[in-house]
Amino acid sequence: MVTTLINGTYSITATDGASLVFANISGALSLVLQNMTDGAANQWWIEGDPPAYTVKSMLYDLYITPSDTSDAFSGDVQQLVPSPEPFGWYALPDDESFAFSPDPTHPTFWTSETDSLNTNDVVLSSTRSLWTLGLVSATSSLALSDSPTAASSVAHFSSSLSIGAIAGIAAGGICGVVLLVALANFLHRRSAGYREETSDSCDREMGQYANVPRYGNTDYGLGPGVPLPTAVCTAHYPPQYPY
């Protein structure tokens, strides 16, 4: 017996123990109660996000839907039919059972007509019937909203990555970028400082050659045939040691 909904496969039974199924009645599938205890016919896949859930037949792969979705909240009696389109239902806990409604602010619920009309049809009306859910298999935990406040006709499905996790990943990425930029700026400043210091060293070293270019030769006016001094800045190179 289930008191908290999670995504999974369930059996759904009325208070008298009859199973909720889609059955072929007069050539068309109808939502009815039948006395059965096993098989895919009375297994339903319930999935969603509080406060809305979808209920789909495991046998027919069709959802429980009002025959007239535009009039699902009036409380007027209408059939519940199979549909390939999902429809969101509130699962309202009541002791160890649930009532299903398209909107708890309106008196409209799944109704077992056996309570008053002695038939096995299940309809949508203002009469509130309770249903017992038996978990067959589950895939993930999903908390149940005990007091939903807004109507929903479309199911909300859970996501595999939470908003908090996404935000954490984004924040981590931003911090990483900031650190990389800071490191690049530090290396750039250090390289610029080294070049400036080297330039000053060269200027000091080259002071003895006041009119000599930093690199290469120049003529001191001594005439041809006289070796010209070569001014080479050694600040760029490590000291040379004799062998």
Q: What is the pLDDT of residue 135?
A: 93
Q: CB–CB of 114/14 below 8 Å?
A: yes
What are the residue ranges spanned by the domains of the chain? 7-158, 161-218+229-235
Q: Tell me the whole-structure pTM to 2 decimals.
A: 0.57
Residue 125 — very low, low, confident or very high, per pLDDT cuts 50/70/90?
very high
Q: What is the pLDDT of residue 104?
A: 82
d(CA 146, CA 4): 10
**C-alpha distances in Å from residue 40, one per residue of 1, 22, 29:** 18, 11, 15
218: Cβ–Cβ under 8 A, 6 or more apart, which residues?
Answer: 211, 212, 228
CATH of 7-158, one of 2.80.10.50, 3.40.50.2300, 3.90.230.10, 3.40.50.720: 2.80.10.50
Residue 173 — very low, low, confident or very high, per pLDDT cuts 50/70/90?
low
* Average pLDDT in the chain: 70
Q: What is the pLDDT of residue 179?
A: 60
d(CA 150, CA 166): 27
Q: Average pLDDT in the 171-183 region?
A: 57
Q: Quick: pLDDT tens for 182-218.
A: 666 666 665 555 444 544 544 444 444 344 333 344 3
Helix H or strand E encompassing 92: strand 89-94
Q: Is the dihedral of CA 183, 189, 193, 194 positive or negative?
A: positive
Q: Average pLDDT in the 58-74 region?
A: 91
Residue 204 phi, psi dihedral angles, 5° rounding: -65, -45
